[in-house]
Amino acid sequence: MLTSSLLHAVIKIAHQAGEHLQRFYARSVAVQIKSDKTPVTEADLFISQFVIEQLQALTPDVPILSEENCNIPLAERANWQQYWIIDPLDGTQQFIDRTDQFAVVIALVQHNRPVLGVIHAPQLSKTYYAMQGFGAFLQKNGEILPLAPRPLPAHSFKIAVGTSHQPKILASVQPPYQASFVQYGSSSLKAGLVAEGVADCYVRLGDTGEWDTAAAEILLAEIGGAIFNLAFEPLSYNRRETFVNPHFVMVGNRQGEWQNIFRFNR
């Protein structure tokens, strides 16, 4: 199943979805508030349906989970050997706020672990992609750059963050380590900054879904990075009734002394 042709077919779907997103971005869109108090736009819903249809045509026998189409009980999906998981518009608030920092995210999960991931930011002309055993890459303005293992962070290091929880994150950093922030938009694009080496890690002390982290898991794994919860345990996929992730840290180098760097009050 994991072939270069499959990977490039998924990249093509992400790029096509990105073109649709740009058309929505060029005009005003209708916004609703979901039951979890997060926004959803007509762009989210259109892209979700578009990507689902394209993936169904590509792999008819593989189930699909979308953030906008995920009301499937664990009893029904527990025996899935593989499935697609997508976030049609990661960074909906960024899309609404017109920061350009949003992405289409598609991942393939096999035996409860992500094995293929694509993160495409159409307004930034950036596409991160990775596949198990294949490596991780960044396509930027038409140029393809292999992503390399990240060096271990020095005592002074950079954390990718959103707009909230910054004081709490800073308070978790233990001496003699000192941290500075790189503030950025969507969750998947902060993972991309870690993969690129713009940041050493990304700390999230807020709710996300499994669709927010699946592509990042394989992107970081292919360069020696990792994602773990605040107890320094790996995240899980399709093992719980809920899709809500625990709070987490994404790191560019899993060999770092992260348990000495961070002390979280859970």
Each residue of 71-111: pLDDT tens digit? 889 999 999 999 999 999 999 999 999 999 999 999 999 99
| CATH architecture, domain 4-147 | 2-Layer Sandwich (3.30)
Model pLDDT, residue 200: 95
Report the predicted TM-score, pTM, of the whole model to 2 decimal places.
Answer: 0.95
Max distance between CA atoms of the chain, in angstroms, equals 53
Residues contributing to the annotated binding site for Mg(2+): 67, 87, 89-90, 212
Rounded to 10 deg, the angle between the 187-196 and 210-221 helix axes is 10
List the domain boundaries for the chain. Answer: 4-147, 156-261
SS3 content of the chain, % helix, strand, coil (to 5): 30, 30, 40
Q: What local confidence, expressed as pLDDT, does residue 36 receive?
A: 74
Q: pLDDT exceeding 90 applies to what percent of the chain?
A: 84
Count of alpha carbons within 13 Å of 23, Cβ hemisphere only? Answer: 8
pLDDT per position as a tens digit, 122-155: 999 999 999 999 999 999 988 999 999 888 888 8
Q: How far apart are CA 25 and CA 101, in angstroms?
A: 12
Task: Give me the chain's average pLDDT, please.
Answer: 94
Q: Which fold has domain 156-261?
A: D-Maltodextrin-Binding Protein; domain 2 (3.40.190)
User: How many Cβ atoms are within 10 Å of 209's Cβ, its own excluded?
Assistant: 20
Q: Over 70: is that where the pLDDT of 202 sits?
A: yes
C-beta separation of 218 from 131 below 8 A: yes
- Binding-site annotation, residues for substrate: 67, 89-92, 212
pLDDT tens-place string over residues 20-30 = 999 999 988 88
Residue 188 has pLDDT above 60, yes or no: yes
pLDDT value, residue 68: 83
Tens-digit pLDDT profile for residues 233-247: 999 999 999 999 999
Q: What is the DSSP string of 141-206?
A: TTEEEE--PPPPP-SEEEEEE-SSSHHHHHHHBPTT-EEEEEE-SSHHHHHHHHHHTSSSEEEE-S
Question: Which parts are annotated binding residues?
Answer: 67, 87, 89-92, 212
Only one residue has tokens 């990661």, namely 90
